[in-house]
Amino acid sequence: MDPAICEQRVTPAFIRDKKGRQRITLVTAYDFPTAKLADEAGFDMVLVGDTLAEVVLGYETTLPVTFETMLHHTAAARRAIRRALLVADLPYGTYQASEQDAVRFALRFVKEGGAQAVKLEGGQKRVNLIRRIVDAEIPMVGHIGLTPQSVHRMGGYKVGVFAMVLEGIPREVAKAVSEEVSTPTLGIGAGPDCDGQVMVLNDLLGLTFKRPAKFVRQYLHGASDIRTALAQFKADIESGAYPTDAESYHLPGHFRLKLPDILKRVIGPGDN
């Protein structure tokens, strides 16, 4: 990473100030190595998303992932990140029962996981909850899918969040929303007119095993490359090509000369 980039840690205010001036970059990460690489690449924000359930843990949907699992992975990402703003996804079940539960879980993400902000899904009905979390001094990212008929309801929802993810909506709607609200919008399957873009890391690296969505652009064929590497490693083991002498540790010369005598003393003359 450019040393100049490292000097300024990203804050919610930094993200808000980029609206209309510079596109905002966001990518998911789920552990120390992926978060470290995303941070070193200079992304503004790193999201430990509940997509962890599908792309890392193998569930069919995001619903089964627990808060404790999300907390575990958020803490791992925190240890890697120096500059980017770390956002944690409140998973299903943490905010549906009560606002008090939601605030408690959000506080744990910050206190125990090192998150700098939390994200939750839902529309206008989450306004009071967002206010409660913001009142607890926790920055919020909103996340909604929209239809053209719901644009007029954005006014209430935008209160309190410093950024808003728009997912799987028509480009025209996303453009209208982005122009209407002062909150930065982050698109995922919402066209190029949002203030920034986000993608699931495993999707862009080609490390998913489902048919990709229309908006996914793969920058690497990760699954294919890993299969090739694993097949080669297996073949090298079976053929004896791995490891070579150069990949082995050796005794220093003077110990090597003494090794037969040392082995005789340790093993004994009658044990071979």
Give the active site residues.
167
- What is the number of residues in the chain? 272
In angstroms, the CA 121 to CA 44 distance is: 21
Determine contact, residues 38/32, Cβ cutoff 8 Å: no
Query: Which has the closest alpha carbon to 12: 26, 1, 30?
Result: 26
Angle at 184 between CA 183 and CA 187, to 5 degrees: 130
Rg (CA), the chain: 25
In angstroms, the CA 167 to CA 247 distance is: 49
